[in-house]
Amino acid sequence: MASFLELEKVNVSRGGATVLHDVNLRLEAGEHIAILGPNGCGKSTLIKTMMCELYPLALEGTRVRIFGRERWDLTELKRRLGVVQTELPGKPTLKTTGLDAVLTGFFSSSTLWPNLRVTETMRERAERVLELVGATELREKLVGEMSAGQQRRVMIGRALVGSGAGTGKAMPGASEMLLLDEPSNALDLAAQQELRSMLRHLAQQGTGILLITHHIADILPEIGRVILMRDGRIVADGLKAELLTAERLSELFGVEVEVVERD
């Protein structure tokens, strides 16, 4: 597999305090990975570093490479990273439909501004992605009228549209890595189940998934690699079967955890 991310001796500071400490990590494109840890352990800071929203301290030996490159035009990088947000960035117009929201993924914009040119190829791809994520019925529905679960489904489509994952045709230079930061937050039990079922389908279609969560139930059967974080450090990195144990999780979360394996 091609390398998606390489971090070497990465330290990141926020608000005058160092919140990531000596992080060394290599992720391959197409992997299915979960980063698990309690609130405040540095998970969200790590994903913001991957997205170049935060930058590491300039220390000797520090290196960040994304898709093999150390320097990026941020607009280009956003098009290659399938980052799932909980809602559209900025302030979408009141007329933004599900289809329009997916199309904004081509431009990393909050709405389809008049200066943005949407081609027929883009529209066809957006229609295929809506079908892939099971959201064809949301095509004409206004984003502001959708439930939280419906919006999350559309946002996953928005993140995927540039890659063409599951459609057999990727946009030039696009990746097939989907980054999800606490995707089940604010969803009820039914919406969580629908979300996990959709993510399983995408994983089985070959889409790479990087899932950041503190909910053990978010870790899909298709995820084989788990990274544990605590106090801004990676404390374990290995196979899911080896790390999702009662002993490991009790130590990680500081509370007694019982693990039951089904099927």
Residues 183/152, Cβ–Cβ less than 8 Å: yes
Q: Model confidence over 153-171: pLDDT tens digits? A: 898 888 888 764 544 444 4
pLDDT band (50, 70, 90) for residue 141? very high
Residues 93/101, Cβ–Cβ less than 8 Å: no
How confident is the model at residue 175, as a pLDDT? 46
How confident is the model at residue 92, as a pLDDT? 57
pLDDT band (50, 70, 90) for residue 134? confident
How confident is the model at residue 261, as a pLDDT? 79
Residues 76/82, Cβ–Cβ less than 8 Å: no
How confident is the model at residue 102, as a pLDDT? 92
Report the half-sphere exposure of 145 (CA within 13 A, side-chain side): 10
Q: Report CA torsion sign: 139, 140, 141, 143.
A: positive
Residue of higher predicted confidence among 171 and 119: 119
How confident is the model at residue 90, as a pLDDT? 62
Distance CA 232, CA 19 (A): 5
Distance CA 125, CA 104 (A): 12
Q: What is the mean pLDDT of the chain?
A: 87
